[in-house]
Structure 1
């Protein structure tokens, strides 16, 4: 697997019928033994199990039934609001664009489809990509995200956007800095209860700590643009660290209550880190 791609798998079985790389709940031409079936029900003499037939003592031939491996649909839900424009040398939006390209490249490599939804104050129809199996989908998504302009209207259309995925059994990568009210995110997570959700929390280094030198600085709200002068000193740094830790605990608790594990990305995206995430999450 090349540097741009990452390994992923789902914690369970897919109900899909299209052949692929993931464990499935349907019987077919796979290698994972499931049970025995009567030859009349599964007429494939190549799977005849003579020993099992004699041991059953029912006077009928039994064949081995296997579970097939199936493809799944991978979906990106990307926050493109004003706060995602923050960051140096890479904006959080640029990191989201790299994630989209990597996810699409990874999905194509194992035969899965990939699509994208995006939101800021409204659902972004201009950034909608239907689920597809395409070699070039990743580059198209990356360019579309990197070039998009955020809405000048305050608000969050996360719930409106994920409503389109409600009830679907898909692998959903939710990419955002998650600077939204917890109640909004809780409602969105409940709508995605049938999906396998991976929250990717993208934070820039400037959000993790104030400037290291004491003095006046102007802090600007990424969503509203409002500027606030503040005096940076040791006390402010302590409060900043405490608030950051509190926000992380709140996010961890929200996701944990739904058996979800967030992955925090600080200043960049590493495909290998996402591979390790899946290896640890799904044994």
Structure 2
């Protein structure tokens, strides 16, 4: 049986914190990255004594080497569990997100980070909340919660996301927001302002059936998962063109909104790819 998927993530800058981990930090402590020399009387640790630097010092003082400590960072997944996330031609978008959070939990464990999860539809979903924890099985627990999630409040949007993000407001760390973003984005910038100290990664989850009209057939039965309404659409050349233009326009709107915060969304279209997400982080930190 194959184990959990792993991907490698990194923050664009140094992280604050005191808990040892794998990310470059801002605090002085045990580490291999030299920061500066200091007097032994100020940092009384003979294990860090640098004899060569002490002999060459102008004041002939005993000097110790200070290093930048590598630290752990809190990681959090905020997941849209509204009705539209239950759509999928082969697998639902929520199933795909469950694959992602399972991989996230395992990757965070391997990096020495704590990982937690919260969810939203029109409201915050308290039944899908998991506080940050460090453990090999954290990802499996989060994925199981999403796969077994019941339908909650009708609708979704920035209001539910804002409530789910309240515990993270003003804190540092890495925050993934997984959603199809099929809701008005006008209020989203104000919500993102609460995460000014965190590294935010939007995970945009779309099903291939949403991206383009089917090649065969001229009639398409449409079911609105939010309202439950059903209707039949005539797939004329004009409708097909408008469909593709609407998808491109929506993607442009999402990209432009996050670009104002120097953030690039990561798109999942049909299945989670851990190597693609690792590549995303390498490009972001290059």
Task: Give me the TM-score of the superposition, normalised by structure 2.
Answer: 0.95
> In the alignment, what sits opposite 1:160?
163
> For 1:152 and 1:96, how far apart are their aligned partners in 2?
19
> For 1:6 and 1:268, how far apart are their aligned partners in 2?
14
CA drift of 1:166 comes to 0.6
Which residues of structure 2 form unaligned runs of 5+?
A: none
| Runs of 4+ more than 3 Å apart | none
> In the alignment, what sits opposite 2:200?
197
CA drift of 1:282 comes to 1.1
> In the alignment, what sits opposite 1:280?
283
CA drift of 1:194 comes to 1.1
Pairwise CA RMSD: 1.4
Report if the CA contact (8 A) 2:121-2:153 is conserved.
no
> For 1:128 and 1:152, how far apart are their aligned partners in 2?
16
1:112-141 CA distance string (max 9 Å, x none): 100000001110000000000011111111
> For 1:3 and 1:148, how far apart are their aligned partners in 2?
21
> In the alignment, what sits opposite 1:86?
87
Report if the CA contact (8 A) 2:82-2:154 is conserved.
no
Aligned to 2:220, the other structure's residue is in SS state strand
> In the alignment, what sits opposite 2:182?
179
> In the alignment, what sits opposite 1:244?
247
> In the alignment, what sits opposite 1:100?
101
- The yes-or-no answer on 1:64 pairing with 2:65 is yes
Task: Give me the TM-score of the superposition, normalised by structure 1.
Answer: 0.96
> For 2:156 and 2:80, how far apart are their aligned partners in 1?
12
> In the alignment, what sits opposite 2:22?
21
Report if the CA contact (8 A) 1:159-1:184 is conserved.
no
Aligned to 2:32, the other structure's residue is in SS state strand
Report if the CA contact (8 A) 2:4-2:102 is conserved.
no
CA drift of 1:151 comes to 2.1
> For 2:155 and 2:81, how far apart are their aligned partners in 1?
12
Which residues of structure 1 form unaligned runs of 5+?
A: none
Report if the CA contact (8 A) 1:201-1:262 is conserved.
yes
CA gap of 1:233–1:214, structure 2 versus 1, over 3 A, is farther
> For 2:249 and 2:110, how far apart are their aligned partners in 1?
39
